[in-house]
Structure 1
Amino acid sequence: MNSDGVAGGEPLTDGKWAGWAGWSDPHPDTFLQAIGRGYMRGVGPTSAQVALETRPSHRNRLDTLHGGFLAAFADHAYFGALWAMGHKAQIGGVTIDLNMQYLGVGRVGPDLLAEVELLRETGRLMFLRMLITQEGEPVAASSATVRKAPAAR
């Protein structure tokens, strides 16, 4: 675990996620355990990518990715993306609103990729949007507002 309270954080050096930073919660009994370990990388000062390997526990009774899981992944991906963009203190922020638009059927097996963009930042808020794809096909789009973590005193 690094000083941000994030397990991992350093870029991985081998395997399919080489060049990405791993993201997992160091606490064993949190909701993040249901989502799984994510991978993130900054793409620019206002954009990042967050990826996740899908697994059978993410499916619904139709054998496709559950919409609630996709929304939870989106919420997770916003904070991973902010971390990857260099806003590391914001992992202590909170989601004010999260909107989802489901664009296609997600399948168990292929990795999810969230492309996240920071649209605007004010003194207390960050406005973001993302597109979630699987194998290049859109699965969902999202927008969110994050209230920044209180400044350390």
Structure 2
Amino acid sequence: MTDEREIAFDYLPDPNNAGWMIWGPRQNGRFNTLYNPVRVREEEPGRVARVRVLPDEILTSVTGKMHGGATAGFIDIAIFAGARGCGINESGFAVTIDLSIQFLAPGEAGRNMDAVVELVRETGRMAFLRGTVEQDFGVIATFMATIRKVGQNR
């Protein structure tokens, strides 16, 4: 009998964007759906992936710019989608152990937001990642993260 937790996330070719995959939970109605679709493209095999969303106005604050919490939420999603784009964490089950974010500029809704995620090191249970969040006008945040792969005992 297959445990449904074995693979909880889809990772399928994007029919509208060659070279991109669409990543997300198989169950709708989860937090991640605020950012759908989440697209992933491998940039350096096994090392760097680009994660892209098109943020909606609902993710902005009263200033009209991206809410810091929405940007942080995207980063937390991007570390998992990016790990998958780097070829690890295929089941999608992992937890954030540590996430450090440096906000550099406000993001904007209605413009592609990319997280460039680099896999710095992977052990049997952990993955260490870092990256930047970019929009067409420049870098808006940097981050470092550690995730624990659930169910991995090596």
Q: Which amino acid aligns with 2:69?
A: G
Deviations 1:34-78 (A, max 9, x none): 232210011221111100011111101100001001111001001
Q: Match for 1:11 among 13, 18, 32?
A: 13
Report if the CA contact (8 A) 2:52-2:114 is conserved.
yes
* Whole-angstrom CA distance in 1 between matches of 2:30 and 2:15: 27
Q: Distance in 2 between matches of 1:90 and 1:4?
A: 4
Paired positions, count: 147
The residue that corresponds to 1:100 in the other structure is 101
Shift of 1:136: 4.7
C-alpha distance 37-61 of structure 1, shift in aligned 2 (>3 A): same
Q: How far does residue 28 in structure 1 lie from its aligned partner after superposition? A: 2.2
After TM superposition, the score normalised by the length of structure 2 is 0.87
Q: 1:139 aligned to 2:140?
A: yes
Give the residue type in structure 2 aligned to 1:27: Q
Per-residue deviation, 1:125: 1.4
1:64-118 CA distance string (max 9 Å, x none): 0010011110010011111111114352011001111001111111110110001
- Aligned residue number for residue 29 of structure 1: 29
2:76 paired residue number: 75
Q: In 1, distance between residues paired with 2:33 and 2:137? A: 26
Q: Tell me, which stretches of 5 or more residues in structure 2 are unaligned? A: 1-5
Q: Which residue of 1 aligns with 2:38?
A: 38
Q: In 1, distance between residues paired with 2:46 and 2:137? A: 23
User: Which runs of structure 2 are paired with 1:100-119 in the superposition (5 Å)?
Assistant: 100-119=101-120
Q: Equivalents in 2 of 1:57, 1:18: separation in Å?
A: 28
User: TM-score, normalization: structure 1?
Assistant: 0.88
Aligned residue for 1:91, secondary structure, equals: coil
Q: Do the aligned residues in 2 keep the contact of 1:21 with 1:41 (CA within 8 Å)?
A: yes
